[in-house]
Every structure is written in C-alpha cells, then in structure tokens.
Structure 1
Amino acid sequence: MTRVTVSIEDDLMDAFDTFLNQRGYTNRSEGFRDLIREKLQQTKLAEDENGVGIAVLNYVYDHEERMLASRLMNAQHEHHDLTVSTVHFHIDHDTCLESVTLRGNLADIRAFADKILAQPGVRHGELYSVPGELHVESHHHGADHHGHAHKHEHLKITT
C-alpha cells in the first residue's frame, strides 16, 4: 500500500471529518479511498461511449435567472429520448430543485448533464449514474403474422 501526504485547508478538513463521522468511518484513509473509487467509477462511466445505464441528475437553480427555466425545459425536450421523468420542487421564492431521471447511452447522459450544469443560474448539481445492459425484445399482436409488432427496450442493471 502506498502512503501519501496531502495538504488540505482546515475548514475543508473539518467538513470532511464531519462527513466521515456522520457515515461511521473509523479513519480518514478509508474515506479518501471511497471518494477516489467513486470518482474513478463515475469518470469511467462517463468515458464509456457505448455504455448504457440509468442516471439521476439533481440540480438547484435560480428561478429568477432570465429564461433559465425555459432553457432547462427545452434541453429536456431536445433529449426526450433520455429523459424519463422530472420532479420539480420549490425551495423558496427564487430557488428550485429539479431531479431528472435519465436512461440511455451514458456518454449522451453525461453530455446532457454537462449542458444543464453549465447553464448560468444553475448553482449546484450532481449526476449519479448506474451502468446496465440494454435488452431489445419484439413480439407480435394478433393470432397470425398479420398483426403488428412491437419492440420493447428494457435496461437490466448490472451488479
């Protein structure tokens, strides 16, 4: 195992220690390792251009920012193939939280999330992705082959 030394501002270290204590960590090293593992996994997911999965994009934004709500809604409509659902929550008079559930190609999901999070007026945001496998099945309706066919895509989450 490699030992490293890192310099961190006191207030950031205090916040990290609080984080670790709240989650039951017994030492800082395991907390750092878990954060590094998580970031590396998220980076790997984002870089896998053929990978599919599901994701949740959460972001807080300023409702009063000029045309921001409209731009956010338009972005979701432009990516209707990825967007499964959106939950909108009013935090206060000027601030909203949205949680967007997404499904599809993880690179496309990441590009969509980056576009949303880069909007002026979006204050905080996070994308959580889970890899999966896309399965496509088709079946016919009707007693004979003259009925109509349907294709169903479903995502199986990998463990």
Structure 2
Amino acid sequence: MADTLVVYYSLEGNVDFLAREIADEMKADLLRLETEKEYPKKGLVKFFHGGKDAISNARPKLKTAIPDLSGYSTIVIGTPVWAGKPAAPINTFLAGKNFSEKKVAVFASSAGGAAEKTFSAIADASSASLFATQSFKNPLTNETSSKEIARMFARKVRGL
C-alpha cells in the first residue's frame, strides 16, 4: 500500500486521464468512484442530472468499496466541475470524513473557468486545509500539455 491515494470520479474520461497520470507520477494507489446508477453521458439530460445533484449536494450510492483510509497520509481528490461544484459522487466519498490530519490536494476538470468554488466545497466537506489545487480545462483536447501539468502537480503534492 502506498502512502498516497488518488480518489476520483470521472464521467467522460477527462478526470480519469488526469488521475492516472498523477497516480503514476506519485506511485500512489488509485481509486475510481463508480455510482450504482450511472449518470447520462450525453445531451441536456447529462447537464440536468449532474448539475441538479451537484447543486443539491446529493450523495448517490457508490458501487465502489471505499478502503480503510487510515494508512494514507496524503489524499488527492479529482473531480469534474458540475455547476461550479464537485461531482455528486465526491460528496458521497467525503460524507462523514475528517481529513484535518491528512495532506489533501484537489484537481478539477471543467469545460469553462476556474474551479475555486469546487475546491472550497471539498475543503469544507472534508475538514481539510488544501495544500495544493490544480484546475484543468478540457484536458483531453490537449493531452500533451495536460499530462505535463498533471505531472507537475503530482511533483508539487509530493514536495519535489
């Protein structure tokens, strides 16, 4: 078991791409959150359901088993930005957790602007003081640049 866990939710593959790069660079364990009921991946229905759940701080049931987190000193959380907030499966993961004694870093992927509100929501929900954050815009449209930024973020989290 590594001392770092990269935990993430990805609907369209952007966050998955980033999480794998970050975990690889950090030699970290990787945990992809999957919901029991999948979110739509196309059209207005995708935005309606995802945005509604994000705004209402919904906690969809996960089919992913959450391991014992006590052995991890660093938790890196990855999420798409939905309506300015973390994706709802991240809410489920964070429910009842207190990461005040852990190093917590967050990265987010969006089609638009910055992710500061998303970072704040995760910090509040996890009782953590985030020591590193990174926002990505459509990372799969420029994989080479996104990969380099993801690896730089991972090195920052590791303290290199």
Which bracket does the TM-score occupy, shorter chain normalised?
A: under 0.3
Structure with more helix by fraction:
2
Structure with more strand by fraction:
1
